[in-house]
Chains A and B, each alone.
Chain A
């Protein structure tokens, strides 16, 4: 259980195409944070023809709203939030070259289809393991929407950030295969 695939952002199509449902990855490089309110604003900017504060090509979006950092810490606890709330926005970003998203919980058919078509993956981090995950975040910088507080877009520099592949580029889904394996018919 210790075989990890190391990923270094930004990612190419071939980086994500070799990933398979259930693979454990360790990510190093940059992650951009965005959750509900930031997604809404980004899509509004796209619709009104404005430039985005981040270039999504080859990047990973991490669905997180960190807690404030205590003195001596770079960032407060920073575990994933539930992803389905971002489903309506995600295909737009994937079409723009986003290579993956990190959160927890299942995605819609539309998101899974977009990932197949445009080569992107969905990764899960362990929800609630927020203090543990924060230790893999080395640097944090607010990039946009500072007024949103925990929902601002942040650039995180991460080292060996742990995640697991839920949806690969072939349309497989760990949440289905995993529960099917352990399900007991009543």
Chain B
């Protein structure tokens, strides 16, 4: 068994919260550069150029790229040969978020009660998802999830008869209804299958794939390509001002489902896509 102390987990979380918010990934930047070349709308081009310039400022000045530094969503893959020592894993993660958001000058955007709406003051608690995997490592993935795009996300329980076309209609209509709100050009994470709660988790995991990567299953990869084409026919464009590039990528993740069900979830991600992973 391999021992990992929670202090190391806290330090890692603190570091990646800040890193994710200051430094956009190369996969995203390349995707935005390609979008700049493909966009036909002059205003759309101007918007993408500003987004790229903004990313440069984040990197060069080490400041957050967006004022909404997000809900801290943390995925932990725990190797089954790992023993976690120290405090609780949950508290270790929250302490890392607390430190990262304070020391990194990130905005505190979490309210304690959904109805009373008093700010917790330190951006905790994080939303934490854990998976047990068969190795002796701990993989931590952090994503700063903005509120504006999260608000535009949807889940539906379709009937098996609705099939592939039903899925395409639901995903495209979700993006259409979102319009300019979620800060296009967006990344569209789609979950397909599983159960009501699991399909939503799949859609968030779909977002975490490298931007523009394809599902290993050919049929699913074809669905991704068809969805991207249909979404970019909507004309919404960068910031909704009109244009060819409404989405940079569509990622679909699937899971087996019940004979009665066809669950589909769409998690919309803004162009300030801020995931970071570290393996301990």
A140 within 8 A of B: no
Chain B 162-188 interface mask (CB, 8 Å, partner A; 1/0)? 000000000000000001111100000
The reply to whether A130 and B64 contact each other, CB–CB distance below 8 Å, is: yes
The reply to whether A179 and B42 contact each other, CB–CB distance below 8 Å, is: no
Partner pick for A180 among B54, B105, B235, CB 8 A cutoff: B235
Closest CB in chain A relative to B121 CB, distance in Å: 7
> Interface size class for chain B?
35 or more
Closest CB in chain A relative to B33 CB, distance in Å: 16
B-side contacts of A164, CB under 8 Å: 43, 241
Question: Whole-angstrom distance between the alpha carbons of A82 and B178 in the complex?
Answer: 11
The reply to whether A76 and B179 contact each other, CB–CB distance below 8 Å, is: no
Question: Whole-angstrom distance between the alpha carbons of A125 and B121 in the complex?
Answer: 27
A79 within 8 A of B: yes
The reply to whether A105 and B105 contact each other, CB–CB distance below 8 Å, is: no
B-side contacts of A84, CB under 8 Å: 181
A69 within 8 A of B: yes
B91 within 8 A of A: no
The reply to whether A104 and B236 contact each other, CB–CB distance below 8 Å, is: no
A-side contacts of B43, CB under 8 Å: 1, 22, 164, 178
Closest CB in chain A relative to B22 CB, distance in Å: 9
Total interface residues in chain A, CB < 8 Å? 47
A5 within 8 A of B: no
B112 within 8 A of A: no
The reply to whether B271 and A182 contact each other, CB–CB distance below 8 Å, is: no
The interface of chain B, by Cβ under 8 A from chain A, is 40-43, 46-47, 50-51, 53-54, 57-58, 61, 63-69, 105-109, 117, 119, 121, 147-148, 151, 179-183, 230, 233-237, 239-244, 270-272
Stretch at the interface among A8-16, A49-57, A59-67: A59-67
Query: Can you name 30 A-B pairs with beta carbons within 8 Å?
Result: A1-B46, A65-B68, A68-B105, A76-B64, A104-B148, A105-B180, A106-B181, A124-B180, A126-B47, A126-B51, A128-B51, A128-B66, A128-B272, A129-B50, A130-B65, A131-B58, A131-B63, A132-B53, A135-B57, A149-B108, A150-B67, A150-B107, A150-B109, A175-B241, A178-B41, A178-B241, A180-B235, A181-B235, A182-B242, A183-B233
The interface of chain A, by Cβ under 8 A from chain B, is 1, 22, 37, 64-70, 73, 76-79, 81-82, 84, 104-106, 124, 126-132, 135, 148-151, 164, 174-175, 177-186
A-side contacts of B179, CB under 8 Å: 105-106, 175, 179
Q: Please give 11 more A-B residue pairs, beta carbons under 8 A apart, in addition to A70-B63, A132-B57, A179-B236.
A: A67-B106, A67-B107, A76-B67, A79-B68, A124-B239, A124-B241, A128-B66, A130-B64, A131-B54, A179-B179, A179-B242
The reply to whether B243 and A182 contact each other, CB–CB distance below 8 Å, is: yes
